[in-house]
Amino acid sequence: MATEAGPRQPARLRASIAITPYPGKFAPIPLVGEFADLLPRVAGLGYNAVELHVRRPEDISPARLDALLARCGLQVAGLATGQMFTVEGLGFSVKDPALRAGAVERVNEFARRASDLGAAIFVGYVRGSVSTEAGEREGDLGRMADSLRRCCDFAAPLGVDLLLEPINRYEVNDFHTVDQALAFLREVGRPNLRLLLDTFHMNIEEPSIFESLRAAAPHSSYIHVVDSNRWAPGFGHLDFEEVARVLRETGFRGTLSAEILPRPDGWAGAAQAIQVYRRMQATIEGT
**Residue 97 DSSP one-character state:** H
Distance between CA atoms of residues 28 and 8, nearest Å = 25
Q: Residues 51 to 90: which contact Mn ion by CB under 5 A?
A: none
Does position 161 bind Mn ion by CB under 5 A? Answer: no
Q: Give the residue at shortest CB distance from Mn ion.
A: 198
Q: Is 238 left (phi over 0), alpha (psi -120 to 50) or beta?
A: beta
For residue 100, state whether it binds Mn ion (rule: CB under 5 A).
no
Extended strands (E) in the chain: 14-20, 31-32, 49-53, 75-80, 120-123, 162-164, 193-198, 220-224, 255-258
Closest to Mn ion by CB, 82 vs 150, is: 82
The residue (of 155 and 223) whose beta carbon lies closer to Mn ion is 223
From 83-91, 186-194, 211-219, 221-229, span contacting Mn ion (CB under 5 A)? 221-229
Nearer to Mn ion, 75 or 199 (CB): 199
Residue with Cβ nearer Mn ion (161 or 259):
259
Nearer to Mn ion by Cβ, of 92 and 154: the residue is: 92
Residues 267, 19: contact at Cβ < 8 Å?
A: no
* Residue type (1 letter), 154: F
259 binds Mn ion (CB under 5 A): yes
Interface with Mn ion includes 224 (CB under 5 A)?
A: yes
Residue from 59, 140, 161, 198 touching Mn ion (CB under 5 A): that is 198
Q: Could you tell me if 68 and 35 are in contact, meaning their C-beta atoms sit under 8 angstroms apart? A: yes
205 binds Mn ion (CB under 5 A): no
Provide the 8-state DSSP code for 93. S
Applying CB under 5 A, the residues found at the interface with Mn ion are: 198, 224, 259
